[in-house]
Amino acid sequence: MTTGGNIAYQLRSGLVRESTFISALQALLNASRNQYIWSIRSLTEPYNYEDWLPTVERVTGFELRLERPNPHYRGDEIAEQLLEGIRLEYARLSGAELPGEGVDVDSTIFIQALDHVLHDYGRASLRALDRQGSESVWVKLRNQVGSVLARQRRQAIGGDDAPTEVIRDALYDPPRLGDAILLGDSDETSGT
């Protein structure tokens, strides 16, 4: 039986990765011997790449997994040369921007590698900074629409810790929800 619920929490940039927090909370909930097996997933909003890209200032890094297609490469020559030339079942490409410069998402190599993933021959995770300086993570998994991790930014008076009522209010006013996805440490970086 599957039931759902929401959890609201405060992220501290640079201290704990969201996937680490989620894994630790899930392990804690499953530590006691009870009749329930807990599974925690990040909430996401559906977003295709073309709509997401204009919402960010610059792409800061990426993780791409390119897989052999069936039946053909659809003109993605770089993916074909990489996979066929080295005789691979899949290849992983990852990169991080030069400090402050952003990834060149208009380069032929990046366009063809991402296009291969967009044709459902692999998966992608792109990290970017939005116009407010917060991190945005776009994820495309095989046979699923692209999505962005759902986050809310709430302002409150006080110190570094969010007041309990602000966290509680986030539960009653959740972000627009799409699907829930399970992120690994390579799929995202520390949240804001």
Of the given ranges (43-47, 52-56, 117-121), which has the lowest mean pLDDT? Answer: 43-47
Predicted pLDDT at 140: 95
Predicted pLDDT at 81: 95
3-state secondary structure at position 82: helix
Predicted pLDDT at 29: 86
What is the value of pTM for the model shown?
A: 0.69
Predicted pLDDT at 13: 66
Percentage of the residues of the chain whose pLDDT score is greater than 70: 86
Report residue 5's pLDDT band, with 50, 70 and 90 as the boundaries: confident
Range among 23-37, 115-129, 139-153 rated most confident: 115-129
The answer to whether residue 188 scores a pLDDT higher than 60 is no
Residue 18: phi and psi, rounded to 5, are -60, -40
* Residues present in the chain in total: 192
Please tell me the distance from the alpha carbon of residue 126 to that of residue 139, in angstroms, as a whole number.
Answer: 6
The mean pLDDT value of the chain amounts to 83
Find the Cα–Cα–Cα–Cα dihedral 11, 16, 19, 22, rounded to 10°: -70
Of the given ranges (26-35, 111-120, 132-141, 166-175), which has the lowest mean pLDDT? Answer: 166-175
Question: 57-77 pLDDT, tens per residue?
Answer: 999 999 999 999 988 898 889
What's the one-letter identity of residue 1?
M
